[in-house]
Chain A
Amino acid sequence: MTTLVKYQSQLVAKPYFIAAIGLFIGQILFGLIMGLQYVWGDFLFPEIPFNVARMVHTNLLIVWLLFGFMGAAYYMVPEEAERELHSPKLAIALFWIFLVAGALTVLGYLLVPYARLAEITGNDLLPTMGREFLEQPTITKIGIVIVALGFLYNICLTILGGRKTVVNIILMTGLIGLAVMFLFSFYNPENLVLDKFFWWWVVHLWVEGVWELILAAIMAYVLIKTTGIDREVIDKWLYIIVAAALITGILGTGHHYYYIGTPEYWQPIGGIFSAMEPIPFFMMTLFAFNMVNKRRRDHPNKATVLWAMGTGVLAFLGAGVWGFMHTLAPVNYYTHGSQITAAHGHMAFYGAYVMIVLTIISYAMPIMRGREANSNKAQVVEMWSFWLMSVSMVFITLFLTGAGILQVWLQRMGEGQNFMVVQDQLSIFYWLRTISGTVFMLGLIVYVISFFIKGEEKAAT
């Protein structure tokens, strides 16, 4: 098969991207199951209880984003470093290890009760399971560490042995940070407060810390390629964006330390710094729009540019604006652990991380398949999927926000009403959310179809 990649080893990214999309479909399927369970309480009960569906939904999200990040790194790093990947064979071996380990873990979730899974995987020896997003059996966590180490070894040797661009350096620090912070998932003390405190070192310092470095590096790379803007300009933006992300995001961790038994000085510290967390996302939006407006070439891949600009906008809205809404301690006192959190989580993950992975896939896949861009027809279908998924995600977020506001009002104000009594009164919002989720799934199907549309191919320039 012909390909237009500059370095043959970039092609190892392809299976990573395909696996990412496959797991994405699974993630949305379980999202729809949960959406239905919210309105139809005994749907699939007791075969797939809500906690199992949620675990599959969130774990598949994390795993497919990691596949996307790894694919992005394997694609970008050789080209930036101007040399072949240190070991393409290792990259392919790690791909299969990660995919099989991930599949076995999900099957474990679905086929045996969780307590039994904990028992047969030896959770008693080193208990790390049963904490939100870190539900994987300890043995899977060890597997993740091994895959991450092999991946970092491969990527770092390639970067250090070649041209050291700012994109590569930022990407590398982000990926090292990702691996290092994950090690805290092995720390699970008997004291719940300590457990929660360091649990956030994985969860917050990933998504509001080092993952933002990976996001910014991918964004910068795609903008260099599609706009032809001088690297010097892009590099300055990139440094300033990641500086803003870490300066606000590290102490911003404090916005999780308001009401879990931690000292109360975290309320002003977490509030002030997390209130500034929208800044790097706003800069990212400005960055994308500015670079596209000042572009020196018209790249034939219009879909990629659309994904990149969409990332800027929806990451700012979802992570920035929806995060800011409930980040100050006096507001969070009422909204903490309500549907408001769910609303923010959905748009933030979609706008920032789902969309950046789809951006790099949109850019790299056609090149790996032998053309600079897909046919106009295929791009139109891809852009339809962009709008279907993005607009339905905006509606999911709005309906969950509506549910959240009403929930806070009914349950948390004054004497308040009982949790389940309130849930019944929110069902209209949950129905609308599930309908929006169905449209999202349609958008995802359209997205997959776009890969199979041939049409006239653009000549390489």
Chain B
Amino acid sequence: MSEKFTKGMARNIYFGGSVFFILVFLALTFDTVERLPERDHRENITESVALGKKVWEDNNCIGCHTLMGEGAYFAPELGNVYDRFGKSKEAIKAFIKSRPVNGIPGRRSMPQFNLSEEELEAIADFLKWTSEIDDANWPPNIQG
């Protein structure tokens, strides 16, 4: 690098540039948090939806599935599973309940989590609520 470009200048770009973009990022974060209620329909987060998120986390569902595209890629996207299952919470619950304990020979299979009726209802409510978030029309089609 040229001699005219001094270490002091390089340092100033580092500190100045970082501080500037941290401030811009914080401002955008503030704006995003302000606007989120328009998109996340938080008024519909019932106790059951909140419990559903807890069930989702306590069973590490994200270790196989994606949820709005984030997670593992071993099993189907679940952000739109409520739509894919014909907007039926019962279908979601029946699927989770019916997983064989010892899997399916040669195939991928979801474990049997032995969820209670309340937990099943909660996870279905959580997935329904998630499917209704305004996520810029993702995924491109029903397959997820």
Residues on A facing B (Cβ under 8 Å): 34, 37-38, 40-42, 45-46, 49-52, 54-55, 114-115, 118-119, 123, 127, 129-132, 135, 166, 188, 190-197, 232-233, 235-237, 239-240, 242-243, 246-247, 250-251, 253-254, 256-264, 266-267, 269, 333-334, 336-339, 341-342, 411-420, 422-423
Contacts and interface: CB of A to CB of B under 8 A. Distances in A.
A336 B60 contact: no
Interface residues of B, number: 74
B135 A261 contact: yes
Contacts of A417: 143
A253 B18 CA distance: 14
Nearest to B59: A115
Nearest to A407: B73
Given A243-B14, A416-B143, A263 B106 contact: no
Contacts of B70: 132, 196, 256, 260, 337
Chain A interface, >50% SS class:
helix
Contact of B36 (A37, A52, A261, A339): A261
B94 interface: no
B42 A191 contact: yes
B107 to A, nearest CB: 4
21 contacts: A37-B74, A41-B104, A42-B105, A42-B108, A50-B74, A50-B75, A52-B63, A54-B72, A190-B45, A191-B45, A196-B68, A236-B7, A237-B1, A239-B11, A247-B18, A250-B22, A259-B139, A260-B70, A263-B36, A412-B139, A419-B75
A136 to B, nearest CB: 12
B118 interface: no
What are the nearest 6 A-B pairs in CB distance? A51-B63, A130-B57, A337-B69, A41-B108, A259-B138, A239-B10
A266 B28 CA distance: 9
Given A38-B74, A42-B109, A242-B14, A194 B60 contact: no
A130 B59 contact: yes
Which of A129, A235, A236, A237 counts the most B-chain CB atoms under 10 A from its CB?
Answer: A236
